Amino acid sequence: MKRPFANALLLLTILIAIGSHAVAADSFLDKDTEWSGAVNVTSNVVVGAELKLTIKPGTNVVFSPEGSLTVNGVSVPPSEPRAR
């Protein structure tokens, strides 16, 4: 027996998960991290020393009123690839 509602719900859940993600409250990035798609920053996000946060081109980063970003390492803003 086919379950179209269950399949549609599963597909919708996967698409939402791929399309955006929320950065957890008081997140401490303890490894190199790459952001893409839609990122919702809901509290303080800290990039640890010697680590790199890369924000891919086309990424939409939205900060809630409580959201902030503290960079102790390196933040790579979105950019177009450069010709060598």
Q: For residue 31, what are the CA distances in angstroms to 18, 20, 25, 56, 79?
A: 21, 20, 17, 17, 21
- pLDDT digit string (tens) for 60-70? 888 888 888 89
3 pLDDT higher than 80 = no
What are the pLDDT digits (tens) for 34-56?
Answer: 888 888 888 888 888 888 888 88
Lowest-confidence region among 9-13, 30-34, 36-40: 9-13
Is 50 exceeded by the pLDDT of residue 15?
A: no
pTM exceeding 0.75: no
Judge whether 31 and 53 are in contact, CB under 8 Å. Answer: no
Please check whether residue 47 is in contact with residue 28, taking contact to mean a CB–CB distance below 8 angstroms: no
Cβ neighbourhood burial of 73 (10 Å; 0-12, 13-18, 19+) = middle
Which tokens is 66 given? 């409580």
